[in-house]
Every structure is written in C-alpha cells, then in structure tokens.
Amino acid sequence: MNLLTRKLENFAPLGNDDKSFLDELVRKNRMFERGKDIILEGDAPDNVHLILDGFACRYKLTSNGERHIMAYLVPGDFRDLHIAILKEMDHSVGTLSPCQVVDIPSSIIENLTERPGLMRALWWATLVDEAILREWLVNIAQREAPQRLAHLFCELLLRLNAVELTTMEGFELPITQSELADTPGLSAVHVNRSLQMLRADGLIELKDRNLLILDPHRLMEFSGFNPNYLHLFDRAGRH
C-alpha cells in the first residue's frame, strides 16, 4: 500500500478502485536533493505536489533574509489541493531531506469529484492541515521553548505513525537544530538548551538523526499535547 493511501484511510475508508487510482497517481515521481526548492514564493503554481518520501517544509523569508518554517510536509502530504486557483505562490516549499515528489496536474484533482469516497478523504486531510496550522500558532504563542519542541515531536510521532513510518522507539528526524529553530520561533541557543533539558529529563534522545521518544506519555503531558486536532482514526473508525 502506498503512503498516500495509508494516510487517507485514516480519514475515510477507500474502495479498491480508489486505491488502484492512487497507485497509478504516485507511480511517476521525481527526486529532489536536500535543501532544494520545490516551488518558490511568486511562482505561478501549476501542479499539486505530493510528498511521497522525505521531509519538506513550507516557509517564508523576511526582508532581511530570515526564514520561518510554517509547516512540515511528511510522506503522504499534499501541497495545497486547490493551489491552481492562485495566480502566484505566497510562500515557498523546500526540502529538508532528499524527497520523492509526485506532480499532479490540477485537472486530475478536479476529476476527483467523481470519486466521492476519495474526495471525502482529501477534504478531511485539507481540514487537518488547517487544524495543524492553528495548533502551531498556539504552540508559538503560549508555550515555553522546551514545551514547543516537545509538542512538535508528539505531533510528528502521530503523523508519521499514521503512515507507518515509526518504530517502537521513535522515528527518523532528518532536521538540523538550525531548522528546528526556524520552526517554533526560537534561537539556535534556545533549541540546544531545550533539547538538553528534554534529554536530561529522560524524555527523548537524538541519535544519528533519529528521535527516540523514551516516554511518550510523559512527553505529551509535559507539552500539553492533545491529539484531537489531528483527527486520526484507527481502521475501526475510533479516535
């Protein structure tokens, strides 16, 4: 089962015909190296992009060249299903690791209305993207530096688990401390101190770009993490 199908089945059951359609959709993809832009602010959007493998991010640059990361895109995530409505991009999307990316013509997205089950799952995925953005705003505004990082790690654990990319201990995190600092509005010094605190408290361990979550329950309690905004269901339809 491809990662897009895995993700969407967390939101709505898909028939075999829809699954076959998605298998064909992701068959053709291209590779981007780490640190490359998939699309830039100001570009005219044509295709919808799907991240099939790797980590990417949405970001904006300030007038003095500072970058702020507004969202992580992990395997199974789209870059805006209805982006072709816009005349130009209002933000950039770049890779944080080597990425496999699928280019999906807008015409195919429009034709998905003929597949009600699939369209429902895609709508749900779009609503979850908006919910994640709201939660990130709360995270930046209301939590201290260690809690911001802990909350982000809890979110990634569940999002990656939804596409079966976690292990019993944690998940691959191909993100530098500098990139982490660009995400929750922290300095590199704050990120380093916060990671040291989380390690000292026995909550996480970072080894070779793998994040080990030593006590998920305590990490969620520490960060005030409530997974309801991810709207993830198991295959039986329960939260």
- In this prediction, residue 12 carries a pLDDT of 82
pTM surpassing 0.95?
Answer: no
For the chain, the distance separating the N- and C-terminal CA atoms, rounded to the nearest angstrom, is: 22
- In this prediction, residue 208 carries a pLDDT of 85
Residues of the chain with pLDDT under 50: 234-239
Task: Classify domain 126-230 at the CATH class level.
Answer: mainly alpha
- The helix-helix angle for 216-223 and 145-161 (nearest 10°) equals 130
Every domain of the chain and the residues it spans:
3-115, 126-230
- In this prediction, residue 60 carries a pLDDT of 94
189 phi-psi bin (left φ>0, alpha ψ -120 to 50, beta other):
alpha
Say if 3-115 and 126-230 have the same CATH topology. no
- CA–CA dist 100, 151 (Å, integer): 27
- In this prediction, residue 200 carries a pLDDT of 96
DSSP 43-57: PPP-EEEEEEES-EE
- In this prediction, residue 236 carries a pLDDT of 36
Task: Classify domain 3-115 at the CATH class level.
Answer: mainly beta
- In this prediction, residue 197 carries a pLDDT of 96
- CA–CA dist 238, 228 (Å, integer): 12
Buried b (16+ CB within 10 A) or exposed e, 127-165: ebbeebeebbeebeeebebbbbbbbbbbbbbbbbebbeb
- In this prediction, residue 237 carries a pLDDT of 42
Residue 167 burial (C-beta neighbours within 10 Å; 0-12, 13-18, 19+): exposed
- In this prediction, residue 84 carries a pLDDT of 63
- In this prediction, residue 71 carries a pLDDT of 94
Three-state DSSP at 146 gives: helix
Three-state DSSP at 102 gives: strand
